[in-house]
Amino acid sequence: MSKKKYVYYFGDGKADGTGKMKDLLGGKGAGLANMVNLKFPVPSGFTITTEACNTYFASKKKYPGGMWDQVLANLKKVEKSMGAKLGDPKNPLLLSVRSGSKFSMPGMMDTVLNLGLNDTTLKALTAKTGNERFALDTYRRLITMFGSTVMGVDRMVFEKVLEAMKKKKGVEEDTDLNVDDLRVLVDKFKVIYRKETGKSFPKDPLQQLKLAINAVFDSWFGDRAVTYRNLNNIAHDLGTGVNVQAMVFGNMGENSGTGVGFTRDPSTGKKKFFAEYLIDAQGEDVVAGIRTPLHINEMKKKVPKAYKELDRIYNKLEKHYKDMQDIEFTVQEGKLYMLQTRVGKRTGAAALKIAIDMVKEGLIDKKEAVMRIDPDQLEQLMHPRIDPNFKYSALAQGLPASPGAAVGKVVFSAQDAEKAASKGEDVILVRPETSPEDIGGMDAAQGILTARGGMTSHAAVVARGMGKCCVAGCTALNIEEKKKSFWVGSTTVKEGDTITLNGTTGEVIIGTVPLVQPEMTGNFNTILKWADEFREMGIRANADTPADARAALKFGAEGIGLVRTEHMFFEGDRIKAFREMILSDDEAGRRKALKKILPMQRSDFAAIFKVMNGKPVTIRLLDPPLHEFLPKTDAELREIARELGVSFKKIKARNTALHEFNPMLGHRGCRLAITYPEIYEMQVQAIIEAACQVAKKGVKAIPEIMIPLIADVKEFTILNEMTVRIATAIEKKNKIKIPYDVGTMIEIARAAFLAHEIAPEADFYSFGTNDLTQTLFGLSRDDAGRFLPYYIEQGIFEVDPFISIDKKGVGALMRLAIDSSRKIKKNMKMGICGEQLDPDSVEFCDEIGLTYVSGSPYRLPVARLAAAQATLKKKGKKKAGSMA
What is the rounded CA–CA span in Å between residue 613 and residue 703?
A: 11
Whether 455 contacts 462, CB under 8 Å: no
Using CB under 6 A as the binding rule, whether residue 34 contacts ligand PEP is answered as: no
Report the residue closest to ligand PEP, judged by CB: 768
C-alpha distances in Å from residue 92, one per residue of 246, 268, 524: 11, 44, 54
Q: Going edge to edge, which strands form the sheet with 485-488?
A: 478-480, 485-488, 491-494
| Residue 795: HSE in the Cβ half-sphere, 13 Å Cα cutoff | 2
Rounded (5°) CA angle 32-33-36: 90
Considering the complex, state which of residue 562 and residue 788 has its C-beta at the smaller distance from ligand PEP: 562
Using CB under 6 A as the binding rule, whether residue 704 contacts ligand PEP is answered as: no
Which entry of Mg ion, ligand PEP, none binds 564, CB below 5 to 8 A by partner kind? ligand PEP
C-alpha distances in Å from residue 281, one per residue of 220, 249, 258: 27, 8, 6
Which entry of ligand PEP, Mg ion, none binds 627, CB below 5 to 8 A by partner kind? none
Q: Are strands 274-279 and 294-295 parallel, antiparallel or unpaired?
A: antiparallel
Considering the complex, state which of residue 25 and residue 748 has its C-beta at the smaller distance from ligand PEP: 748
Selecting among 469, 474, 833, 845, the annotated active-site residue is 833
- Using CA atoms in the order 185, 189, 191, 196, what is the torsion angle rounded to 10 degrees? 150
CB of 612 to Mg ion, least distance (A): 22
Residue 476's SS3 state is: coil
User: SS3 sequence, 345-391?
Assistant: CCCHHHHHHHHHHHHHCCCCCHHHHHHHCCHHHHHHCCCCEECCCCC
CB of 539 to Mg ion, least distance (A): 20
Scan residues 761-790 and list those touching ligand PEP (CB under 6 A).
768-771
For 436, list phi and psi in degrees, rounded to 5: -55, -25
CB of 629 to ligand PEP, least distance (A): 14
CB of 233 to ligand PEP, least distance (A): 24
Selecting among 383, 458, 470, 670, the annotated active-site residue is 458
What is the rounded CA–CA span in Å between residue 710 and residue 828?
A: 18
What is the rounded CA–CA span in Å between residue 176 and residue 168?
A: 12
Considering the complex, state which of residue 323 and residue 715 has its C-beta at the smaller distance from Mg ion: 715
CB of 840 to ligand PEP, least distance (A): 17
Using CB under 6 A as the binding rule, whether residue 652 contacts ligand PEP is answered as: no
CB of 555 to ligand PEP, least distance (A): 19
Considering the complex, state which of residue 460 and residue 543 has its C-beta at the smaller distance from ligand PEP: 543
Considering the complex, state which of residue 134 and residue 767 has its C-beta at the smaller distance from Mg ion: 767
Using CB under 6 A as the binding rule, whether residue 831 contacts ligand PEP is answered as: no
Scan residues 336-355 and list those touching ligand PEP (CB under 6 A).
none
Whether residue 833 lies in the annotated active site: yes
CB of 344 to ligand PEP, least distance (A): 39
Exactly one of 681, 747, 838, 843 binds Mg ion (CB under 5 A); that residue is 747
Considering the complex, state which of residue 171 and residue 803 has its C-beta at the smaller distance from ligand PEP: 803
CB of 643 to ligand PEP, least distance (A): 29
Whether 314 contacts 273, CB under 8 Å: yes
Considering the complex, state which of residue 43 and residue 855 has its C-beta at the smaller distance from ligand PEP: 855
Whether residue 458 lies in the annotated active site: yes
What is the rounded CA–CA span in Å between residue 459 and residue 454?
A: 9
Scan residues 178-197 and list those touching ligand PEP (CB under 6 A).
none
What is the rounded CA–CA span in Å between residue 114 and residue 590?
A: 84
What is the rounded CA–CA span in Å between residue 6 and residue 19?
A: 17
Considering the complex, state which of residue 781 and residue 825 has its C-beta at the smaller distance from ligand PEP: 781
CB of 794 to Mg ion, least distance (A): 28
- Binding part of the chain for Mg ion, among 50-58, 539-547, 654-662, 766-774 by CB under 5 A, reads 766-774
What is the rounded CA–CA span in Å between residue 284 and residue 291?
A: 10
Considering the complex, state which of residue 747 and residue 806 has its C-beta at the smaller distance from Mg ion: 747
What is the rounded CA–CA span in Å between residue 268 and residue 503?
A: 12
Q: Which amino acid is at 302?
A: K
Site mask for ligand PEP (CB under 6 A), range 607-626, x = bound: ----------------x---
Using CB under 5 A as the binding rule, whether residue 768 contacts Mg ion is answered as: yes
CB of 770 to ligand PEP, least distance (A): 3
Using CB under 5 A as the binding rule, whether residue 400 contacts Mg ion is answered as: no
Scan residues 547-576 and list those touching ligand PEP (CB under 6 A).
562, 564
Which entry of ligand PEP, Mg ion, none binds 834, CB below 5 to 8 A by partner kind? ligand PEP
C-alpha distances in Å from residue 563, one per residue of 510, 553, 705, 758, 878: 43, 14, 10, 22, 37
CA dihedral over 440, 443, 447, 449, signed as positive or negative? positive
Tallying the residues shown for the chain, one arrives at 884
What is the rounded CA–CA span in Å between residue 650 and residue 626?
A: 18
CA neighbor of 817 nearest in space, from 855, 861, 857, 765: 765
C-alpha distances in Å from residue 447, one per residue of 423, 428, 461, 554, 671: 17, 5, 13, 28, 48
CB of 771 to Mg ion, least distance (A): 4
What is the rounded CA–CA span in Å between residue 520 and residue 348?
A: 12
Which entry of ligand PEP, Mg ion, none binds 563, CB below 5 to 8 A by partner kind? none
CA neighbor of 709 nearest in space, from 749, 666, 669: 669
Which entry of ligand PEP, Mg ion, none binds 769, CB below 5 to 8 A by partner kind? ligand PEP
Per DSSP (E only), the strands in 413-516 are 427-431, 447-450, 469-472, 478-480, 485-488, 491-494, 498-502, 507-510, 515-516
Exactly one of 181, 566, 771, 846 binds Mg ion (CB under 5 A); that residue is 771
Considering the complex, state which of residue 693 and residue 775 has its C-beta at the smaller distance from ligand PEP: 775
Residue 303's SS3 state is: coil
Exactly one of 29, 834, 855, 857 binds ligand PEP (CB under 6 A); that residue is 834
Which entry of ligand PEP, Mg ion, none binds 565, CB below 5 to 8 A by partner kind? none
Site mask for Mg ion (CB under 5 A), range 548-567, x = bound: --------------------
Which entry of Mg ion, ligand PEP, none binds 501, CB below 5 to 8 A by partner kind? none
Please list the residues that pair with 337 across neighbouring strands.
330
Query: What is the size of the binding site for Mg ion (CB under 5 A)?
Result: 3
Active site residues: 458, 833
Write out the residues near Mg ion by the rule CB under 5 A: 747, 768, 771
Write out the residues near ligand PEP by the rule CB under 6 A: 562, 564, 623, 747, 768-771, 833-834
